[in-house]
């Protein structure tokens, strides 16, 4: 193995950047990539996987790509406390239904993965009890959570978990689009769609991702003068400091309590909340730019997806192909049934299909894929789905952080079954409340 140096990092970032640009070119030039809303980061990841060290070996990417994903997720979670802008739109009843719908689905997907891994997959195949967690990590969590869970289990001796979770995330994104578009056609035929458009009617910028000059938005206000420090550098420095603080907390916890492994991304999120509080008290928060930090988070995510897919070890996937296939197929069926059945019952006549399509995209791919599905089903955003989701997610986020943080801890200490049952029961309690009120 070649010696790893700063120039190795330089080369890896440069190569992935080239692949991202190639992915963008493919998205702009090929109608198939546009029709299925395939993100350039996903294309870049597939190119890296096919031509990198895990494939044909034509691209000299290093073997440290999995580590990059673990670092980038710390930056992404460090952005969260600073990237949100308070919006007070939407009605309480709509937001409440969206919260019930999303929170229960998230809890039950984690419960499903945990329990099928313990009760079926680890019984009939030589896999670890936590194998099933690859499903919710990659589906509901996306590549970011897959990196976080992979990093956590890697510290606990589960070196294959990163590849398994990243594979689930990649398959999830593809299924979110292909099955999502099939659902749109099915909903139209059944008369469930309220505002449906066709792909051909979508604006050119939504298909290619290239904004015309008159539709371009500012990436954020400049709150500092470049004569002292550039505003982008200022916001990036804050996020880098938060990520480093999270790393320091994680190492400190490990030093004083070796039996407890706190993920760096969780610590970065907590440290970010603390720094936001301090910044608010001291007036520094006024000079941060939520929009700029939001764009930084998106940029980190693009690189994470590209690096994460490129780092997938195909040999590991083939070793687990049978239980992994069962996990993916059963997870897709479970999620599809939940999204359609519960969505129709809970949302009733309040644009249930549009909100189900968004939730399907989120629960199997990413929020971005959910938005892509929503753009087709509700191009003018008359369903108010995004407004409701933005407010509901304020209450969902803490639960999601807890699930990601404590799932590895629970399984490492022999409480995996308890974790799965707890998630199942909490989701059932929320659904019972909805049943009573609905």
- The pLDDT, as a whole number, for residue 41 is 84
Q: Which range among 49-63, 149-163, 197-211, 363-377 shows the weakest confidence by mean pLDDT?
A: 197-211
For 379-400, what is the mean pLDDT? 77
- The pLDDT, as a whole number, for residue 151 is 81
For 78-106, what is the mean pLDDT? 78
- The pLDDT, as a whole number, for residue 1 is 52
Q: Which residue has the higher pLDDT, 204 or 276?
A: 276
- The pLDDT, as a whole number, for residue 379 is 64
Sign (positive/negative) of CA torsion 381, 384, 389, 394?
Answer: positive
- The pLDDT, as a whole number, for residue 338 is 96
Q: Which residue has the higher pLDDT, 54 or 30?
A: 30
Average pLDDT of the chain, as a whole number: 84
pLDDT tens per residue across span 297-339: 888 888 887 887 887 788 888 899 999 999 999 999 999 999 9
Q: Does residue 106 register a pLDDT over 70? A: yes
Q: Does residue 267 register a pLDDT over 60? A: yes
Q: Does residue 201 register a pLDDT over 90? A: no
The pTM for the full model equals: 0.74
């Amino acid at each position: 193995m070649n010696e790893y140096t700063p120039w190795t990092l330089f080369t890896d970032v440069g190569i992935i950047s080239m692949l991202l640009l190639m992915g963008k070119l493919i998205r702009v030039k090929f109608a198939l990539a546009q029709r299925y809303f395939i993100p350039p980061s996903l294309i870049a990841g597939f190119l890296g996987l096919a031509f990198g060290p895990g494939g044909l070996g034509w691209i000299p990417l290093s073997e440290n790509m999995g580590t990059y994903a673990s670092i980038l997720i710390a930056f992404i979670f460090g952005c969260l406390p600073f990237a949100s802008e308070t919006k007070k739109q939407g009605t309480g009843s709509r937001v409440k239904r969206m919260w019930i719908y999303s929170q229960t689905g998230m809890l039950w997907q984690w419960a499903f993965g945990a329990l099928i891994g313990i009760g079926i997959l680890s019984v009939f195949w030589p896999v670890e009890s936590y194998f099933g967690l690859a499903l919710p990590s990659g589906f509901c969590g996306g590549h970011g959570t897959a990196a976080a869970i992979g990093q956590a289990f890697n510290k606990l001796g589960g070196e294959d978990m990163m590849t398994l979770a990243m594979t689930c995330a990649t398959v999830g994104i593809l299924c979110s689009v292909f099955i999502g578009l099939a659902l749109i056609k099915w909903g139209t035929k059944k008369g469930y769609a309220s505002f449906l458009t066709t792909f051909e009617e979508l604006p050119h910028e939504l298909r290619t991702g290239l904004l015309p000059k008159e539709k371009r938005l500012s990436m954020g206000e400049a709150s500092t003068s470049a004569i002292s420090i550039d505003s982008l550098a200022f916001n990036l420095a804050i996020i880098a400091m938060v990520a480093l603080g999270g790393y320091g907390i994680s190492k400190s916890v490990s030093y004083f309590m070796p039996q407890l492994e706190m993920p760096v991304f969780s610590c970065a999120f907590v440290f970010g909340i603390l720094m936001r509080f301090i910044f608010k008290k001291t007036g520094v928060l006024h000079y941060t730019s939520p929009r700029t930090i939001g764009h930084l988070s998106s940029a980190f995510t693009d690189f994470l997806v590209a690096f994460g897919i490129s780092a997938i070890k195909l040999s590991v996937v083939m070793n687990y192909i049978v239980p992994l296939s069962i996990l993916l197929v059963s997870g897709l069926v479970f999620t599809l049934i939940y999204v359609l059945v519960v969505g129709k019952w809970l949302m009733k006549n309040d644009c249930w299909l549009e909100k189900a399509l968004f939730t399907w995209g989120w629960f199997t791919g990413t929020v971005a894929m959910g938005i892509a599905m929503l753009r087709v089903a509700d191009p003018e955003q008359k369903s108010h789905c995004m407004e409701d989701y933005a407010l509901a997610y304020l209450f969902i986020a803490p639960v999601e952080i807890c699930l990601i943080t404590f799932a590895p801890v629970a399984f490492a200490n022999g409480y995996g079954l308890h974790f799965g049952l707890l998630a199942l029961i909490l989701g059932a309690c929320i659904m019972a409340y909805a049943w009573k009120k609905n």
